[in-house]
Structures are given as structure tokens and as C-alpha cells.
Structure 1
């Protein structure tokens, strides 16, 4: 079963651990998943100009 994560989270230790648990077979067959993700970014995250500029979203 493929596990897909956002590209910027794929090296997060928690995501790597979850992937390893799934790949190990220890959890057996996964038939449903529900998740929620939130975070608060520190103020210095927005010190880069392009992160403060208004942009446009691309929808496919």
C-alpha cells in the first residue's frame, strides 16, 4: 500500500517512523486512515520576501 506525504515532510522523523511501521507489516492490512495536521510557524519563517508576497494558487 503506498504511503504518500507532502514532499516537505518526507524527511520528518515522525513521518519516516510511520512509514517504517507500515512497511514492517506490524500493523497488518490498513483499511482506513484519518489524520489531521497543523502547526504554528515561528515568526522568522516569514523573513524570506517571497513568503510575504501575495501569490496565486494553481489548481489542476
Structure 2
């Protein structure tokens, strides 16, 4: 699975990831985009909330 990430300076970085890791990353990405659209929270805010939650666990 190829993952394309757009950086701040509009450069596109490509990653090749195999197996289950790719599926998990795709799901997390989809969840973040869904929250962003429905709740109007920025991606960086969501990511910081997710990392806080992981650190607390």
C-alpha cells in the first residue's frame, strides 16, 4: 500500500508500507478526517489529543 503525505510546503512524500500496519494507518487517517469534517477540529488538535490519550493509557 502506498501512502502519500502532503507536507506543509506542498511537497508530496511517498511511503510504502506492507501488511497490517498499512491498514491501521489508513483507518486512523480516515478517523481523523471524519472527525475533522464532522466536528470542525483541526488535524493537529486531534493528533495531540490522540497522543495524550496514548500516553495516559
Q: Which has the higher strand share?
A: 2
Give the TM-score normalised by structure 2.
0.26
Q: Which of the pair has the greater relative contact order for Cα pairs under 8 Å at 6+ separation? A: 2
Q: Which has the higher helix share?
A: 2
